[in-house]
Structure 1
Amino acid sequence: MIEIVRISYTYPPRSEENYRFEGYFIFIVVLLIGLPMLCMVPVLPLLYVCERWTGEENLLLNRLVLLGAAGLGLVAGFWYLLKLRAEDLQRWKTRQESRQRDAADSVAEQVTIRNIYQYWSVTSYEPAAGFLIHTREGEWFYLFDQRLDDFEEDAFPRSEVTLLRAPHTRTILEIKTAGDEVDFVDFVEDEFIHEHGGDHGFGSLEPTVCESLNQDGNNSER
């Protein structure tokens, strides 16, 4: 059973965050060095065939062809690098705008899940940073966030969980628990959640996609 309401919430002030494109080094190595070298590989057999066909070796022409192939690879790598940076910058701008909207609205979503009686631990991170939970009404919810390490692990999950999350960024702000301990069933891979539409944060899964976790259909799932 789930209940979602909006409540007033004051977001702490955030310092100015400058954009930074992560992974410059690896992209430069792969795209601007590796790609030009890769483009020269199929040219070498072609040059060899031409030499056998003509019976003579033209070093100047060979070098020009190789440099041309490397140049095409360099241009393609540079274009793709700029494309990746533009996409990453757009995602960063979207996150910044969402944070500003959350701060301006000064509200948060309070999500309360009741009647939890089983849970699976997501095995992506150590310590566990995710849970798949099952309610007595047959609903399935996942809580999947690396920042779960910041919350009290021995207090979650319980039969009732209340989350505070930002409505625009969907960032989990607080986790509160109440009620009794619930049964741990098994571990589940994070790919299971992602394959069925789940992402970092909180959401629900269709009961039909969780049937593979059901052992006997009588309140015993794996």
Structure 2
Amino acid sequence: MAPTTIAPDIPLPRGHAAKRVSILEAATDVFCREGYAGANIDMIAAEAGVSRQTIYNHHGDKEKLFVAVVRALTERANAGIFATLATFPDHPADLEAELVDFAVRLNRNCICNSDGKYLRKLIEAEGRRYPELFDTWRENGPSKTWAALAARFARLAHGGYLDVDDPDVAARQFLALINADLHVSMVLGDQLGEERVREAARNAVRTFLRAYGKRKSI
């Protein structure tokens, strides 16, 4: 069910590549607005300003186009997540403050941005009906994020900054906590200001450190 790929040694003409991207962007908007079942190629063609045949030429049928949309969103979301993970405070001078800053970046760059919102909306709307369409997301999204974050928390524990028995659990709980105060607002499409995101990050990190912060010897 994977989308058709083009051999990497065959460069796409600039206009061809731009049109392909335009179709993907239009398809993302339509699938998020109408759902997979409600969307059709005519809607996407009208949104992209191209013909039905152009869409078939570039992406094939609706199912293949939907897979391409999910795959593109997943790849962009993963790139943002791993770029942000590279800023994790491995040797913090102020653990709480630096984890709060990291949580703000993770929310802003990965979870609250447009790719994160689109991907979450598609998964929530279509995940149960078409689970196979999200195989790429499942394999390359949460699992890799959890593992990468767990490795970083394990390093903090090894360095004496945290008391963590199971880094995998700690990573999942950290991600859940930084979303806890924002989830409903994101589902409803509210605009989240900087202070709201930072307040959610502070609440999350303080709760996280109450569970995993290194206890001072008396």
Larger Rg: 1
Q: Normalized against structure 1, the TM-score is what?
A: 0.27
Higher helix share: 2
- TM-score, normalised on structure 2? 0.27
**If each structure's strand is expressed as a fraction of its own residues, which one has the higher value?**
1
